[in-house]
Structure 1
Amino acid sequence: MRFMILVKASADSEAGIMPSQELLTSMGNFNEELARAGILVGADGLHPSSKGARVRFSGDQRSVIDGPFIETKELIAGYWIWDVKSREEAIEWVKRCPHPMPGSDAEIEIRQVFSAQDFGDEFTPQAREQEERVRELAKKNT
């Protein structure tokens, strides 16, 4: 089962304050542990929302909203993709994670990633073939 682990933003991460050397080392060690355990699929930190944009869809219209975005508690500062056996295993790994925002309260959200079988009959054989082609093309981009 794949899970996306979302590190919620803080006022500091939104201000563009970079993590300390100590935190980078701790997170690097944790990421290495995840990789050695065979569960790490991907991980990255994100620039603050001031460097981002949102596209709002309303009918046929599209509008662009430039960051920064107001609700810091709803923003994401980084993520991991893990392949684990269960939600409970993901929770146990998150509990071992270094505190992502030292000096303030922090939250890490755990969300399961859909797999093909989750979509049922609506995910036709043609759609499955297309998904496989897209995944193979995406692998070439990394």
Structure 2
Amino acid sequence: MARYMLIMRVAPEAAAEFAEADIDFNEVIEQMGRFNEELVKAGVLLAGEGLTGPEEGFVVDFDSDPPVITDGPYTEAKELFNGFWMIEVSSKEEAKQWARKIPLGKGVKVEVRRVSETSDFPMDNPWIKKEIQWKAELAEKIAAQARAEADKLA
């Protein structure tokens, strides 16, 4: 099994057209919800999140020392990173199949990248060993947060 990140990128023109269009946002949420539910039922969804607009973000440019921080929006950007899904599938081909099913329209692209696995690196490296431990601790923390959220809903 391999993990892939499906990165949603939207051209500014497409975002502007969407904002101007009379589209029922509840329908958009429903379409995306159906897709996410399909991922869950297939057992491949690990994570997925949408992102706020670029006006709430910033860019750190490492071309200078110290790095320069510029608040959004980013007028020089050709496309904005608007959200992602993290899936675990058996192959690159299966990742392609899921990416094609995302309910998106014109002006939107999904970049798909395989996520590096710990096994891609030398296992005798002390930092890789630490990363394995950090991931285990993070998984425990996320599980505890999910239990707390579930208890609130009960």
Q: State TM-score, norm by structure 1.
A: 0.82
Matched residue type, 2:70 = I
In the alignment, structure 1 segments of 5+ residues that lack a partner are none
Maintained 8 Å contact 1:14/1:49 = no
Cα distance, 1:110 vs structure 2: 0.5
Distance 1:112 1:35, change over 3 A: same
Q: Distance in 2 between matches of 1:15 and 1:58?
A: 34
CA RMSD of aligned residues (A): 2.5
Cα distance, 1:16 vs structure 2: 9.5
Quote the residue 1:106 is aligned against: 108
1:2 aligns with 2:3: yes
Q: State TM-score, norm by structure 2.
A: 0.77
Q: Report percent identity of matched pairs.
A: 31
Quote the residue 1:138 is aligned against: 138
Task: Decide which structure has the larger Cα Rg and report it.
Answer: 2
Matched residue type, 2:109 = E
Cα distance, 1:117 vs structure 2: 2.2
For residues 66-105 of structure 1, the aligned pairs below 5 Å read: 66-99=71-104, 101=105, 104-105=106-107
Q: Could you tell me which of 24, 30, 34 is aligned with 1:25?
A: 30
Maintained 8 Å contact 1:3/1:82 = yes
Maintained 8 Å contact 1:53/1:65 = yes
Q: Distance in 2 between matches of 1:117 and 1:72?
A: 34
1:53 aligns with 2:67: no
In the alignment, structure 2 segments of 5+ residues that lack a partner are 146-154
Q: Deviations over 1:103-128 (max 9, x none)?
A: x3321110110012222x3x534223
Equivalenced residues, count: 137
